[in-house]
Each structure stands twice: as C-alpha cells, then as structure tokens.
Structure 1
Amino acid sequence: MGNEDSSNHCHLTSATVDADTSAPPTSTPSWSLSAVNQTLLLLQSDDLNLRVQAAKEIRRLTKTSQRYRRHFSAAVGPLVQLLRCHSAEANEAALAALLNLAVKDEINKINIIDAGALKPIIGFLQSENPALLEHATAALITLSASSVNKPIIKASGAIPLLVEILRHTSSQAKSDAVMALYNLSSHPNTLTQILQTEPIPPLVNLLKSCKRRSKTTEKCTALIESLVVFEEGRMALASEEGGILAVVEVLEGGSLQSREHAVGALLTMCQSDRAKYRELILREGVIPGLLELTVEGTPKSQSKAQMLLRLLRETPYPRSEIRPDTLENIVCNIISQIEGEDQLGKAKQILAEMVQVSMEQSLRHLQKRALVCTPADLPVNSRTSEVPSK
C-alpha cells in the first residue's frame, strides 16, 4: 500500500538530521532545547521503538506550540523515513507528528512534501487500516493549504482517491477528504480534474448526512457551487436524486457562509439555463429560504437571493394565463411586495401567510423537512482549511 520500498529507508544515520535547531531563539529555555535535542537523537536510533517514541513526543510537544514546530523542523526528514517503515504504529506516529509540524507553518508544509512524504501518504489513502487512512487524509488537509504544494498534490493522483474516500469510508475521513478537495480546488484547472471523478453523488450524500451548520457542510456546498459552473456539474446535481433539495435545505438552515454558497450554486444553474433548471429549483420549495436570505443573509447572499428570485419570477407567458393560485403567481406577488420599504416586516408577514397557503409540491417538500430537526454547529468561515493539531 505505497510502502514497497520501505525496507530500504528505515535505518537512519546522523546525516539525516538537519541543522535547523543549531541557532534557536535566545528566549527559549535551555531545558526545552535539551528536550528537542534528545528527541532528535532518538529519531536516529537503530531501535524502531525508540524512534516511534520520539515521533509521539514530537506530536505532543508540537500540538499547541508554534515555537516547538520551528525547533523540530529538523525532524521532518527522519519522520518521513518512518512513513516508509513496515509498521502501522510507526506510520501513524510519524503522520501525526508531521501533521502537527505543518499546522500554521508554511516552511514545514513545503519541507514535508520536498522530503518525499507525498508518495507514502498517497499509499495510505488506499490503506485498509482506518486509522492510517484518516491520518493521511487529515495530513493532506494541512499540506494542501500551501499554494506551493497544491500543484504537486494535484499531480500526485490524490484527487481520485479523495473522492473515493467520500464514497466508502468513515464520516471523519469523508469530512477531511472534502476539506482537502476544497483546498485543492482553488488551484487553476483542478475543478475539471475533480469533475472527471464524478464527485457530485458522494458530495450530495455527505451533504444529506452532516449537520447543517458544520464546517463540512460549508466546504461541501462551496465545492458544489464551484462545480456547477460547468454544465457537467449542473447536470450531475440536477439528475442526482435529492441533489437540488439538499442544496435548498442548506440554503434554509445552514451557516451564513453555507447559505451563501448554496444560493450561489442555485443562481449559477438558473442563470446558465433558466428554462432547464427553473422549475427543478422551484419544485424543491426554495422560496421561503430565499425570502429569509434577502433580509438576513450576508450582503452577497442577499444580492444573490434577490437575483434568483427575479429569475424564478419572470415568465414568458402573460400573467392572465396563469391561474391565481399557482406557485408562479405566488412568487410574483411575494417579490412585488418585498421590493419596497420595510422588507423585513413584510417578508415575515408573507412567510407567516405562506404556512397556510397550498404551494403545490414545493410547500409539501417544505412541510416534510420541517418535521426533521438537525442540531447546529457554530459556523466557521475560512477560505483555506487546515486540520487542527492532533
């Protein structure tokens, strides 16, 4: 599983350790430097157990200390060597230590990839050992936060494996895979490579199962918003059972950032081909959520919600040809009423009235979803994700 050549790399010599700790900050206590040096010496031992012990100590010391992450930068090479050993315990200890070294440290992120860590990490993404797989996926989140590393990871074959993790592994590994894919998606031309792996079905399934206000939902919805820029992505979401509905539910109950991504995805679809996607979006009961966003969302959400409402309102047919109790006319009436002053008060009044109105299939969807209450996490807003220290 990516460790075929490990027997050639398990033994370390003193030359393996760099000299990065030779001139530490003068403010560092001498006992701390002594602990660093002793741990680095253990990493050169011929005894694998001692090296694993050293890796675990590095993980502990670097969990919350940026200073220790700098002092232990010399450990990157030896820890990468541990990734190549035929020992799951050694692999896990090394992965956890490397992950902590990389958190909020751009130099360590780059050095870890330069030291050859990516090949064994990619191998662990295919491991039958759940702990190894989860550690490897978590490590990729932090490593992919570096703009220098993104093209290297993209070219490594990691993307199809990350999407495969979305289909078949634990919820934690799935969440981490979404974070890593989100980080990589900002690199040019990466979205087309992600699309080739048919990611929409597993993304929709994850969206249905995770908490509405979670970080996972935020990044998952952000990925979907990026993917529906392409026709292939739009068609995949529209054809996936419950796909548009899952996005609408995030629009209604997600964090502010998630709702912004959700309305952005629906707006992109409707703008690209209104005749094709308008009815599909209306059918899932999107109107109440859009009304709320026009008064309670972020500035971007409010603007996008208003644009989408206008697209959903407009019709090529004369108003007189539509029955007064149809969804089309209700949408038109709502928009005309909230475009004036006192939007918040009018929107609340309209929302209260809509509970008593039969809005064809859309409100039936809404009523069914109202029976399900999902616990909420605090919203997290960030452009690039990093996994917390372990």
Structure 2
Amino acid sequence: LVELLSSPDVRDQTQEHAVTTLLNLSINHSNKGTIVNAGAIPDILDVLKHGSMEARENAAATLFSLSVVDENKVATGTGGGPIPALIKLLCEGTPRVKKDAATVIFNLSIYQGNKARAVRAGIVEPPMRSLKDAGGGMVDEALAILAILASYQQGKAIGQAEPFKKLNWQLTKWPFLQWEDDILVITVF
C-alpha cells in the first residue's frame, strides 16, 4: 500500500486511493504505529506536497490521524518537513482542507521541536490573516495555533504583528466561547 503512494501518474487516482485507504486504516489506533513503522510518512508527505488536491486533503487528514499518538508527533513533524506544505494548504486549500491543515499544525506543534519548525516555516502570518476574515470560518483554528505557539519564545513575535492588535477589538465581536484562546494569546504576548 505504501508503494502505491509514489505512483507517478496522479491522473489514475492511485495515490488518492492509497492515501485514503491509509487514512481509513489510521483511524484504528492499533494501525497507527504499523503505518509509521512501514515507512509511510515520507510518501504521505510527498502526496501532501505534490498530489492532487483530493489526495493532499487526505494526506493532511492521515497526518492528523497519525500525529494523535505522541510518539508520532516527532516522526510526522520532522521527516521531509510537512509544515511548509500544510501552511500552503492552509492558505490555498478548500475550507475542509484548511481546517485539516490547521488541525495538523496545531497537533504537531504540541511537540516543542515542531513549534520551532512551524515558526521558521512562516506559520504566524496565515492565522493572523484568518483573524481579519472572521467570516472565513477559521477564527477558532487561528486562535488555537496562535495559543499553542505562544509557549515558544520565537513565537512571541506574533505580538509584534499588526493583525495582533485586532485581537483586542475582536474580543467585543466574537462569541464568548472563543474568548478563552483570545485572552490566552493576549495575556502571553
């Protein structure tokens, strides 16, 4: 199955079907380690970077599923650098893939070493842009990413960004449930 991820012809949908199958298998917790140990992560990352949009969406969802296990956060976050590809999806994907990409970035950033990778890859700006577009449906995800990066010293650069000033204004506009992350981000920065 892992070999099918590197199918050269994305038009035949082999990659898409293979990564979708891995996604479905990864939902079962006992399969997560098997998938990682089979060496699937580099090929999933390749699909994430170069596959069709549908395959990239499923690759992001697969990475999220695999990264739920703490031991997999390091392997998933380092091998081949998924974070820049996830940031690209966060900026240009469909609404569903944007949410998946944000969730993977958040989940990978729980591991301290991945916070540094995310900041170096440029993760600060996309969530800040999402704060400007409250109707885009990504405010919760943006705040979650900013909140997790708040514990990383270089992530504190978020406080210097222009859109950060909008957080104070947004406090009066967002529903109460979003205030928790908003206040956390403001307090830390």
Give the TM bin, normalised by the shorter chain: 0.7 to 0.9
* Partner SS state of residue 69, structure 2: coil
Cα distance change of structure 1 residues 95 and 238 upon mapping to structure 2, 3 Å threshold: same
> Quick one: distance in 1 between partners of 2:74 and 2:175?
31
Paired residues in the alignment total: 186
> Quick one: distance in 2 between partners of 1:92 and 1:128?
8
Which structure has the highest helix share of the two? 2
Residue of structure 2 equivalent to 1:74: none
> Quick one: distance in 1 between partners of 2:94 and 2:183?
29
Match of 1:149 among 61, 72, 92: 72
* Partner SS state of residue 199, structure 1: coil
> Quick one: distance in 2 between partners of 1:217 and 1:139?
23
- With the length of structure 2 as denominator, give the TM-score of the two structures: 0.84
C-alpha displacement of 1:127: 1.8
Residue of structure 1 equivalent to 2:30: 107
> Quick one: distance in 1 between partners of 2:110 and 2:90?
19
Cα distance change of structure 1 residues 121 and 201 upon mapping to structure 2, 3 Å threshold: same
Gapped runs of 5+ residues in structure 1? 1-78, 270-390
C-alpha displacement of 1:136: 1.1
Residue of structure 2 equivalent to 1:236: 158
Within 5 Å, give how 1:270-289 maps onto structure 2: none
Residue of structure 1 equivalent to 2:144: 222
> Quick one: distance in 2 between partners of 1:150 and 1:84?
23
Q: CA RMSD in A?
A: 2.4
Task: Show CA shifts across 1:213-265 (max 9, x none).
Answer: x6x5333212202223445433334323x333157526742462x32111111
* Partner SS state of residue 196, structure 1: helix
Gapped runs of 5+ residues in structure 2? none
**Equivalent position amino acid for 1:249 in 2:** Q
Cα distance change of structure 1 residues 210 and 174 upon mapping to structure 2, 3 Å threshold: farther
Structure label with greater radius of gyration: 1
Task: Show CA shifts across 1:13-32 (max 9, x none).
Answer: xxxxxxxxxxxxxxxxxxxx
> Quick one: distance in 2 between partners of 1:143 and 1:247?
36
Residue of structure 1 equivalent to 2:8: 86
> Quick one: distance in 2 between partners of 1:260 and 1:234?
18
Cα distance change of structure 1 residues 95 and 248 upon mapping to structure 2, 3 Å threshold: farther
Residue of structure 1 equivalent to 2:185: 265
> Quick one: distance in 2 between partners of 1:247 and 1:199?
21
> Quick one: distance in 1 between partners of 2:14 and 2:152?
43
**Equivalent position amino acid for 1:151 in 2:** V
Is 1:251–1:262's contact at 8 Å kept on the other side of the alignment? Answer: no
Instruction: Establish whether residue 249 from structure 1 lines up as the match of residue 170 from structure 2.
Output: yes
Is 2:5–2:14's contact at 8 Å kept on the other side of the alignment? Answer: yes
Instruction: Establish whether residue 124 from structure 1 lines up as the match of residue 51 from structure 2.
Output: no
Within 5 Å, give how 1:161-200 maps onto structure 2: 161-200=85-124
Cα distance change of structure 1 residues 266 and 151 upon mapping to structure 2, 3 Å threshold: same
* Partner SS state of residue 86, structure 1: coil
Is 2:16–2:52's contact at 8 Å kept on the other side of the alignment? Answer: no
Aligned-pair identity (%): 25
Match of 2:21 among 76, 97, 100: 97
> Quick one: distance in 2 between partners of 1:228 and 1:147?
20
* Partner SS state of residue 39, structure 2: coil
**Equivalent position amino acid for 1:174 in 2:** K
> Quick one: distance in 2 between partners of 1:193 and 1:247?
28
Task: Show CA shifts across 1:194-229 (max 9, x none).
Answer: 1112211111123333558x6x53332122022234
Instruction: Establish whether residue 160 from structure 1 lines up as the match of residue 84 from structure 2.
Output: yes
